[in-house]
Structure 1
Amino acid sequence: MSDASAKWGDLAPRLLSAIGMLVIGIVAVWAGGVWIHGLVSLSCGLMVWELVRMLHGAGSQRAIWLAFISGFALFAASYAPYATLLLPLLLAPSFVGFSLLSAGPRPFTGRRIFMSYTAMILIAGFSLIALRDDFGIVWMAWLLIVVIVSDVAGYFAGRIFGGPKFWPAVSPKKTWSGTIAGWIGAAIVGSIFAALYGGSFTVIAVSVAAALAAQLGDIAESAIKRHVGVKDSSNLIPGHGGLLDRFDGMLGAALLLIIVELFLDFPPSVVG
């Protein structure tokens, strides 16, 4: 296989899988309500399943139980009648998983990684659900488009221009050219949404920050994979690996959004 073929060999399955995920995502985002709650909860549960399998071994039966517990906890949190119930529900799977994975003859050494990353997955998932419920389709679409465009721009720029690596010890394929291209793509998306829906420079700045958070989310997952010595989190998605491989960036961006909402008047308007 030539260098060019090797460089672009995964493009076809990546595109087909991306189209399938995009269609499912659009339908759920458009429908809202139980559909987006269910899709995000299912996805986050599967991410926890992938995380447990990476940290505790592919044969771990506890991964299925923790996936179910995590998905159920997030779904329940999305309908919680009181805000005081949110954090206990979202953190409960981390503590339950710590107990389950520490029991038995096989030692579990990834306690800190499991607890922190599971909490991150569920809090980020709740952020996505809340964004759709509280701010409507437009700003949910904004975040999805920012992450997708920054990822696609980085993918193509990195392979076309190459150049110095962004963080070779953790993510050997990520280049500075791809990273910067991702920021530029996010700024363009932010400019379009600012022109259409208001928010001016704030939307552009948050868009670039979301792209950076998405890239850091990707690096965090890459660090876990290198720590446990696996290439992909699973093989659920042809051409992409697992859900964590595909949506690690979305997790990072969703976590950033929680912080932004606390300190800024963002999103700038409520659109149904």
Structure 2
Amino acid sequence: MYLITVFGNLLIILAVSSDSHLHTPMYFFLSNLSFVDICFTSTTIPKMLWNIQTQNKVITYEGCITQVYFFTLFVGLDDFLLMVMAYDRFVAICHPLHYKVIMSAQLCGLLVLVSWVINVLHSFLQTLMVLSLSFSREVIIPHYFCELKQLVQLACSDTFLNDMVMYFATVLLGGAPLAGILYSYSRIVSTICEISSAQGKYKAFSTCASHLSVVSLFYCMCLGVYLSSAATQSSHSSATALVMYTVVTPMLNPFIYSLRNKDIKTALK
């Protein structure tokens, strides 16, 4: 599954970069999402596979902190890029005549850069706050990787400030992209409903069908992880839900975009 994820997303990146017909904002954002998905899975899965192969579940403190930093970074980037892609579809469907002017190369680059800067700073802040905590010499983490919330709960020192920053960041950096996606799609749906012809409605909807599928998968998996951890104290159930989120979702994204997109299929051929 890890190899399928890596090669599938690499194929998307290669297809977009090699085919001049795909040098558009939508595919620029898609190639960035594919790159982030490769990095996202590579943060946790290789270590998990190594643990399974060697039957050794030990990770160093430095390795654990590194996992916390990069996992937080790439989860946030996934969320922000899905919001940026929703905005791109909003402009394409609701303001088609101004699309090329609004979605210029400078704006596309700026949107991706701002997403990276915000999430790099957020991950750096969270990691610094974890470094300020004290732990016992040997800590048992009930997960297959070092997850921020789990790690903070296992600290020996006071974690009130860490908890407050985590909750605030979740509301701000998790809620804002979701609100942006919901707003974009509410405007898209209202615009599609105003189109008189059935063919026009289908064409408009088909341009954002793949992205909508990926967004639905991403947030359904997020909700599954949250509900499983809230409903039960079983670390096994929580870890199973997290495997679905960290392994299955990035693996399915290339299939969704390639199977439901004629331009990508043509470029791959």
Say yes or no: TM over 0.5: no
Question: Looking at both structures, which has the greater relative contact order when contacts are Cα pairs under 8 Å and sequence separation is at least 6?
Answer: 2
Q: Which has the higher helix share?
A: 2
TM-score by length of 2: 0.30
TM-score by length of 1: 0.30
Greater Rg, structure 1 or structure 2? 2
